[in-house]
Structure 1
């Protein structure tokens, strides 16, 4: 199989996995005091694509995932929040990926925190109320925790994928 076909196939699979994980997450009940707080399961696919294919491929998968999940299982506000969080997170992950201090877990943590900051900023702008910033400390803790979990999962998945690739 040619490299180009193989890459397109992998990106299609990663996109499908990201959409599926987004759907699964939409089914999970919100059990926190902070509205909209989620695990970020779909970011698993995004971080894997970022490391395997680079930022442009990760950007494409991210956009398709956000639009598909938003239109299928959400609404326009959800799309706006996801775009703000997803794009800011992807930019930061891309910028720090090449730093030797950060491994895949550190990049994932930075992405999780930045995702939440991007969402809180867009929420503040949409509702025209800065009081929403009081959620920021809880969202940062959640971003670190979920980013760590996603990063550790990414490390394990990468180890296993390289055996077969």
Structure 2
């Protein structure tokens, strides 16, 4: 791996971390409808990393972001939710992006990632509280996933279009 690639991956991780922390300061836009739901701003960086660098580096960026955010914020328990959501959503997005991109745009890829993220987080929650009944919340989470996935997908798509040429030149040099 080239130094420029390492620098860009470090920058992507840092931007993802900043978005993760910033999002924690934003009031829940779904309050009353879906307590605990978030926009998933850091997932913009995950999608961009996936589109430019591929699965391996998207996983590294997302997992590092989750670990560092958990340590910085001091929310070690929520780190488990974040890591599970990040790994599942990144892998699911890669499968859709790699094998079904003729059927789904980056926006569709993002929606699948948001759905996978919430399922993974509910699985972790069910394991922690030792109660599968938490899945009664799944329909609400799925509905919010569609909206957040579309928003994140549109944002990532726009950003990726604007940076793809620049990034390819950097990666190839």
Relative to the length of structure 1, the TM-score reads 0.93
The equivalent of 2:139 in structure 1 is: 137
Provide the alpha-carbon RMSD of the alignment: 1.4
* Structure 1 consecutive aligned stretches of length 4 or more whose deviation exceeds 2 Å: 33-36, 162-165
Q: Superposed, which structure 2 residues align to 1:72-151 within 5 Å? A: 72-98=72-98, 99=100, 100-151=102-153
The equivalent of 1:8 in structure 2 is: 6
In 1, Cα distance between the equivalents of 2:82 and 2:148? 16
In 2, Cα distance between the equivalents of 1:97 and 1:160? 19
In 2, Cα distance between the equivalents of 1:56 and 1:164? 21
Q: Superposed, which structure 2 residues align to 1:52-91 within 5 Å? A: 52-91=52-91
Superposed CA deviations along residues 95-141 of structure 1, whole A, max 9, x for unmatched, are 11121212211111100011001001110111011221111111001
Greater relative contact order (CA < 8 Å, ≥ 6 in sequence): 2
Q: Displacement, 1:74?
A: 4.0
5+ long unaligned stretches in structure 2 = 168-173
5+ long unaligned stretches in structure 1 = none
Relative to the length of structure 2, the TM-score reads 0.88
SS state at 1:147 partner: helix
Contact (CA 8 Å) 1:39, 1:146: kept in 2 or not? yes
SS state at 1:113 partner: helix
What is the number of equivalent residue pairs in this alignment?
163
SS state at 2:2 partner: helix
